[in-house]
Structure 1
């Protein structure tokens, strides 16, 4: 069994962050491990508070895992400050972390800023450690310093982001109402488009975390970046299709839905 690491924030609501990552990784048949960078207080209605983890603890979490375990790939999510970004970057370089997939978490669905403004430049510099970065449209606009309104803009933004040093760039098109195509700019400069089916549901908590951690899982299993994205797109589509409510706000995507059904769970 391949071992895959998530370095991200904790989601007390269980739909995103390390909790969502570990569910997605387990569903792909890899063993998921976690390094916690921050603790969030959140429910289905939003994020209400964030407590960053001590830098030395973040560093040691990474180091002791690599001292003992052969880690095939890494998903990096919430890194809220420039100091955390630097310690994760330096430590991954020190332990020779490979196959790093970066989900540049900036703002929660409820509008809570999870990345401090002063850390944006540090995050841009962090990208050069990655095999892949997976920004949505708003995140790509910040990383590329441009407005994105069309597929042509997405391609141009991907090229600008790739120039920051990351090997591959996947810009997710879900924020575009008229066309939700995702666009991959590969290491060799090839453009690959991924089309997705849209579902009418408010329950999309954890989509970005799920996609990036699923991609990291497949890369860790030896699939190419493009193959990993294609397989992960199928999985995220299935989880959105089977998403459900847990409170008054945005519910989580549906992992292990078949197991819940076998257990006789009623989602209504």
Structure 2
């Protein structure tokens, strides 16, 4: 019952607690712990009542911090207690037998004691350093693993959580991850919540996670929707698709493009999302401005993680994006991009910067973040010398991801397939940096083992790359 993203509210100083929690629930928060000690009793009760309504609408649990009487009065799902609060027995007498009681713990002994007293779950931390509380007890991942082995009740890891750290905590045995500022202080609480929530998909059976690709059809099968579905399926997730255009093309180039009207693009989106849903979205060729706006709106409303590949020109040189669609992509879709994956010509088209090395790629990437992209991966395949080095700007962090450059004419579909692979690994529970590194490995193998098909730029070898990658040890295995 206690599993997934466990969101603890902040002190509501900015007055937006309900708005933030609603967005976080849309993004996938499964438990909300309402923490509010230093406010008026009537205001506390009013906010708790509204939070209960939101949680019920999203089929999430509401836990009240420290006040079992309030939990009882509004029919919350439970109460959470600290080490210095009343006993589990006393709290049980107040809230009833069928409600949840959680206890904060900082050692194996405290965890065992809480379980013996009848707690339904324990929070354990602080696992990592955090600025949320002063005078914390830092316990670390090793102690978290020890507690997991010692107790049978659900275990919530708390303290200093980022998606990368949360991934490690889940691997150490946490059933849930407690987050405060990582969501509540984020400019986009819904998308921040989705980052954490997707980490728990690693426990799903195959196909693991759902990925929607929104792109054009490549009749030659090497790029576009066809490459995306191959990538998503072979790597072990469930693929859905929304067609934005039909192309008549082969390895020699694009012969003709038939654009699909915005209304039908919307119908495809609604049909899939209202029934099947999706964990992540990958966008490729979007050649109607109206379609770009509607896609961006859906990403925002549903707090989805979107990997945006700003496809502008086909491998053979044909333009795939008109000026209106480009303007819409920059002004509307780019700010909704969880990860933007441009190549160097696309960077130049969007920013006016033509990077010649990794330092200039970083500069251009910061410009793209200023335009609204949350994270940016600039692909360095067009650099003329050295290894194939990509630049990943992960919020404020900078990472160079390098692989040997492979001299091959068979690179059709690399951009589409890379973005689809990243979206797939995100849907499977990998944090972003690991998802990008694993996707980069996939593409390198696919290029290295490409089999010549056609008379021009042949496709990469999705099948061989997926089979080899799935037999290599993954970071979270």
What band does the TM-score fall into relative to the shorter chain?
A: over 0.9
TM-score relative to the length of structure 1: 0.93
Rounded Cα–Cα distance in structure 1 between residues aligned with 2:353 and 2:456: 31
State the shift of 1:64 in Å: 1.3
Contact persistence 2:211–2:278 (CA under 8 A):
yes
The match for 2:91 is none
Residue 403 of structure 2: SS of its match in structure 1? coil
The match for 2:330 is 124
State the shift of 1:236 in Å: 0.4
The match for 2:227 is 20
- 1:96-175 equivalent positions in 2, closer than 5 A: 96-125=302-331, 126-175=333-382
Computing the radius of gyration from Cα coordinates, the structure with the larger value is 2
Deviations 1:197-252 (A, max 9, x none): 11121010100001000000001111111110000011000100111222111110
Contact persistence 2:442–2:466 (CA under 8 A):
no
Q: CA RMSD in A?
A: 1.5
User: Structure 2: where are the runs of 5+ without partners?
Assistant: 1-207, 468-477
State the shift of 1:48 in Å: 1.0
Contact persistence 2:234–2:466 (CA under 8 A):
no
Residue 48 of structure 1: SS of its match in structure 2? strand
Count of aligned pairs: 258
The match for 2:152 is none
- 1:220-235 equivalent positions in 2, closer than 5 A: 220-235=427-442
Contact persistence 1:16–1:209 (CA under 8 A):
yes
Contact persistence 1:155–1:183 (CA under 8 A):
yes
Contact persistence 2:235–2:466 (CA under 8 A):
no
Q: Which runs of 4+ in 1 moved over 3 A?
A: 91-94
Correspondence for 2:285 among 69, 78, 91: 78
Seen in structure 2, the aligned counterparts of structure 1 residues 16 and 97 have a Cα distance that, compared at 3 Å, is: farther
Contact persistence 1:144–1:158 (CA under 8 A):
no
Seen in structure 2, the aligned counterparts of structure 1 residues 258 and 152 have a Cα distance that, compared at 3 Å, is: closer
TM-score relative to the length of structure 2: 0.53
Seen in structure 2, the aligned counterparts of structure 1 residues 258 and 241 have a Cα distance that, compared at 3 Å, is: closer
User: Structure 1: where are the runs of 5+ without partners?
Assistant: 261-268
The match for 1:241 is 448
Correspondence for 2:394 among 160, 167, 186: 186
Structure of higher RCO (CA pairs closer than 8 Å, 6+ residues apart): 1
Rounded Cα–Cα distance in structure 1 between residues aligned with 2:250 and 2:416: 16
Rounded Cα–Cα distance in structure 1 between residues aligned with 2:277 and 2:303: 10
State the shift of 1:147 in Å: 2.0
